[in-house]
Amino acid sequence: MVKENVLDVLMYLFEHYMDSELELFPDHESLRIELMDAGFSLNEIDKAFVWLEGLAFLKEQPHYGGLGASSRSVRIYTDEEMRKLGPDCRGFLLFLEEIGVLDGNNREMVIDRVLALEGGEIDLKQLKWIILMVLFNQPGLEAAFSWMEDQVFEDYAPVAH
């Protein structure tokens, strides 16, 4: 069975390696083999590595996007961003800013990483994963990461009857 997209590869990597200290998984070749054994295509694996490299680059930038934006500013989305981020996703990003989980810089990193994915609109569950990946390993954002991690993994919690 071949799994379909880059986000599936990223989610797999994050679920299996987030507890390790590896930020960009230096041994790409053994990871490629593991991911192919897990059912991912080489093309999607390579795209996932490019996506992660793009995220690492953004994290190295002192002020990505949102530069000079005040807490009262309003984010105006482009047509392309609105095609990828439906109303639920845009509302969730605004909510995260209002409660302090995201700031303008991290919001812009999330939007950049959403646009870096091929395909159409992403859903709220996918957006939560992307936000979690953006917040991962960012100094000073441990509480935001922890809150977001609870949001992502609550989808997997068993329901008690």
Per-residue pLDDT, 67: 45
Domain count of the fold of the chain = 2
Same domain for 72 and 150, yes or no, is yes
Does a structural domain hold residue 161? no
Same domain for 50 and 12, yes or no, is yes
Does a structural domain hold residue 116? yes
* Single-letter amino acid code for the residue at 64: Y
Residues of the chain with pLDDT under 70: 1-4, 19-26, 63-72, 155-161
| Sequence-distant (≥ 6) Cβ neighbours of residue 107 within 8 angstroms | 65, 66, 75, 93, 96, 97
Tokens describing residue 38: 């897990």
Same domain for 144 and 90, yes or no, is yes
Q: Is the pTM of this model over 0.85?
A: no
Distance between alpha carbon 66 and the CA centroid of its chain, in Å?
Answer: 18
End-to-end CA distance of the chain: 33
CA atoms within 13 A on the CB side of 63: 4
Same domain for 72 and 151, yes or no, is yes
Q: Which residue has the tokens 């809150």?
A: 147
Per-residue pLDDT, 71: 57
Neighbours of 76 (CB within 10 A): 7
Same domain for 50 and 84, yes or no, is no
120: exposed, middle or buried (C-beta count within 10 Å: 0-12, 13-18, 19+)? exposed
Per-residue pLDDT, 68: 44
Residue 156 per-residue DSSP state: G
Domain span including residue 29: 1-60
Q: Which residue has the tokens 């986000």?
A: 7
